[in-house]
Structure formats: structure tokens, C-alpha cells
Amino acid sequence: MLNQFTVKQAITITSIVLLLNGCASDPVPVTAPILSGEQMLNESQGIANLGDRWKKGKQMVERGNILVREGQNKIDEGNRMIEEGEKIKSESEEGYKNIKK
């Protein structure tokens, strides 16, 4: 029985010592992987391509907005012409009715 108690104490003490050593030691520094020149070049070209694609998209949006504004102006002008034409037709019909009287 005394032997078991001593073994348990020895295991407990050893575990505590190992735990304290692990906590007290300096952490292992994590190093970032070193990129090769080729890998950096490939990545930077990929980013540049994304930037160019974004610029093209922005230009398309701007051009589309211009076309929509121009189209809306034409629609407004067309509606104005229709209203004016309807007014002229109505006035002409009234004039015709007055002549017939």
C-alpha cells in the first residue's frame, strides 16, 4: 500500500513539474512561409488582373448609367411630342367641327 502511494505521488509530482516546464518555456515562434520570387510575381499579377477587371466593370456601370439617362431623356421627349401631337389633333378636330357648323 505504501508503494502505491509513493508511485502515485511520484507520477503527480512529475506531471506537475512537466506542466510547469511547459508553461515556463518560451513559445515556439511561428514563421510565415517564405515566398519565392516567382510566387510573389504570380500573386501580384493575379491581383493586378482583378484590379483591371474591376475598372472595366466600373466603366461599364458608368456607361450604362449614361445610356439610361439618355434613354430617359428620349422617352421624356417622345412623351412630350405625343402630348403636343394629341393637342394639335384635338384642336384640328375642333376647328373642323366649327367649320362644319
Per-residue pLDDT of 21-80, as tens digits, reads 666 666 666 676 777 888 888 888 889 999 999 999 999 999 999 999 999 999 999 999
pLDDT band at 4 (very low <50, low <70, confident <90, very high): low
Q: Does some domain include residue 95?
A: yes
How many whole angstroms separate alpha carbon 11 and alpha carbon 42? 55
Q: Does some domain include residue 85?
A: yes
Q: Does some domain include residue 15?
A: no
Q: Name residues whose C-beta falls within 8 Å of residue 35's C-beta, 6 or more positions apart in sequence.
A: 43
Domain limits for position 98: 75-101
What's the structural domain count of the chain? 1
Q: Does some domain include residue 83?
A: yes
pTM attached to this predicted model: 0.50
How many whole angstroms separate alpha carbon 54 and alpha carbon 52? 5
Q: Does some domain include residue 23?
A: no
